[in-house]
A and B are shown apart, each in its own frame.
Chain A
């Protein structure tokens, strides 16, 4: 099982698209180190031949008809957009 020291918080924050301050990196690193230390005891459990549970009551293959249905109007869908123009969401330039 991994050691808590392996938590490279700068790297993980980048993966999570989360900009942390230096103070947050230090504090969260310390707090999560304690949590990860607690979690290490899971290594003691014998999990050989145990199936993983993604859900308590696995349900498979829920199909829906591929039929058009009434949906949100453009106005409703865009009501919460931070910036919009011509029925589109505006974002910073993605492609040069």
Chain B
């Protein structure tokens, strides 16, 4: 049996339920582990030890009174530092919010509280979730627990690294172009990007509103089902929230009608794919085939346009969303300003980091007079074609299987050129543009011991099928039992 801080929600819920373990003991173990590994990985922007222990004591009291709220009762869950927790800092890893304290809870935060979870820590990320390595954090990068000279991926790098290192039992990330799935693959954990609209965005610091989704990062697929069940559901405070009934993800994990026909999009196995990553995903495909699944090649012909479409739409939306950071009502205010316009321009100059500035400039440009049709409107139309590509394949197959990232975790500082960094996301961004659900599941390790992830892409709102397909693979492969030696 592994250390308690490396166990799954499923294992810990059983131990808590049998009173072999209290939430206070578990939370203390996670706090001690966090303090031990934090100097090596820097996954947290902040944490509130007293607050977490108070929540753990409250959880133990509920359990003693026979009022357990379910599987997440007493489980320490870490949140990416873009999700509001009442009374806790929310920095989005930006200087501009370095002193901001949330005045309310995000909907997902409230839902986790209602599920009995212990909220543990504010997890590092790329500034405003813009990046693929967590190197764009104003508070310094996070390191990959499997090799601390390497990045954990991004933007939810802190969420992935903390989980892999045992500094949280589960975490939440956010995914605009791959920001849950890519770090999950780099750190050897499970990460699911739900269908757009399944999880409320209320209380999420907005990056690109038509692409952003909050989702869980966990050790096992079963844990992902537990977390997703807790946070999914309609919310009238998010006008893009999906209003249908949420299925029982747990019960459906072992349902007989699991996805049977899997598509292999040929565009996702081309040039630039690391041979070890490709081989690991091929082995996973072989597994499904051996299990009697029908595996067939499919094509997503507009894949080569995903990156460009994404960087127009995401930066356009970001330039609009980040206009709110003006130094007036909250956030950093420049000390010396001649007038109100100067106050805006100086506060933003001092508060934002380089990548955020670049994206605001690009987004403002593609929306500006004379360029809107050529860039933004064109990108929206190509987005339609990208989405139709996916929906057409679903007339033939139930789900798609691809690598999550073309490469395993790269070295800190290795990708200094913005375009090279953007190319890391080529297998994940199409999913956001099409609004689809996708899950990254560990599917092996490189010879040098770095985790590899595969991505299963599902049909809109069919997370249950996706989880079932991933669970089936995980039951036969115990990659999740390996832990980094920190």
Instruction: Point out residues on A near B: beta carbons under 8 Å.
Output: 1-2, 6-7, 9, 12-13, 15-20, 24, 28, 31-32, 34-36, 38-39, 41-43, 45, 47, 50-57, 59, 62, 64, 72, 76-77, 79-83, 89, 91-94
Contacts and interface: CB of A to CB of B under 8 A. Distances in A.
Contact of A89 (B305, B329, B346, B364): B329
Interface in B406-441: 417-419, 422, 433-436
A31 B360 CA distance: 13
Contacts of B100: 80
A13 B349 CA distance: 10
Nearest to A42: B308
Contact of B384 (A41, A52, A80): A52
Contacts of B374: 1-2
Which residue, of B101, B197, B308, B422, has the highest number of chain A Cβ atoms within 10 A? B308
Contacts of A36: 362
B80 interface: no
Contacts of A41: 304-305, 308
Given A52-B380, A89-B329, A18 B103 contact: no
A44 B334 CA distance: 44
A82 B358 contact: no
Given A19-B345, A62-B239, A80 B196 contact: no
A15 B329 CA distance: 20
Contacts of B122: none
A80 B380 CA distance: 36
A50 to B, nearest CB: 4
B486 interface: no
Contacts of A52: 377, 380-381, 383-384
A86 B104 CA distance: 23
A42 B340 contact: no
A28 B354 CA distance: 8
Given A24-B357, A43-B378, 5 more contacts: A16-B361, A17-B344, A39-B375, A82-B332, A92-B339
B424 to A, nearest CB: 14
A28 B357 contact: yes
5 contacts: A52-B380, A56-B460, A57-B195, A64-B236, A76-B103
Contact of B387 (A13, A56, A62): A56
Nearest to A6: B371
Interface residues of B, number: 75
Contact of B381 (A6, A31, A34, A47): A47
Contacts of A94: 339-340
Contacts of B365: 7, 12, 32
Contact of A28 (B328, B358, B382, B434): B358
A77 B103 CA distance: 7
Nearest to A7: B365
Contact of B103 (A12, A15, A80, A93): A80
A60 B457 CA distance: 26
Contacts of A82: 327-328, 330-333
B383 A18 contact: no
Given A18-B360, A83-B333, A54 B345 contact: no
B273 interface: no
B418 A80 contact: no
B348 A51 contact: no
A29 to B, nearest CB: 9
B434 A12 contact: no
A24 B121 CA distance: 34
B327 A9 contact: no
Contacts of B436: 56
Nearest to B356: A18
Contact of B240 (A12, A50, A55): A55
Nearest to A61: B239
A18 B375 contact: no
Q: Which 7 A-B pairs have the closest CB atoms?
A: A56-B435, A52-B380, A80-B330, A82-B333, A19-B345, A19-B349, A47-B381
B362 A17 contact: no
B99 A80 contact: yes
B341 interface: yes
Given A45-B305, A76-B103, A53 B384 contact: yes
Nearest to B239: A62
Interface string B186-198: 0000000001110
A19 B346 contact: yes
Given A38-B307, A72-B104, A92-B340, A56 B434 contact: yes
B357 A39 contact: no
A57 B357 contact: no
Given A35-B419, A57-B435, A82-B333, A18 B311 contact: no
Nearest to A16: B364
A65 B308 CA distance: 40
A62 B374 CA distance: 30
Contacts of B354: 24, 28
A42 B380 contact: no
A34 B419 contact: yes
B309 interface: yes
A76 B330 CA distance: 11
A9 B330 contact: no
A56 B103 contact: no
A12 B364 contact: yes
Contacts of A89: 328-329
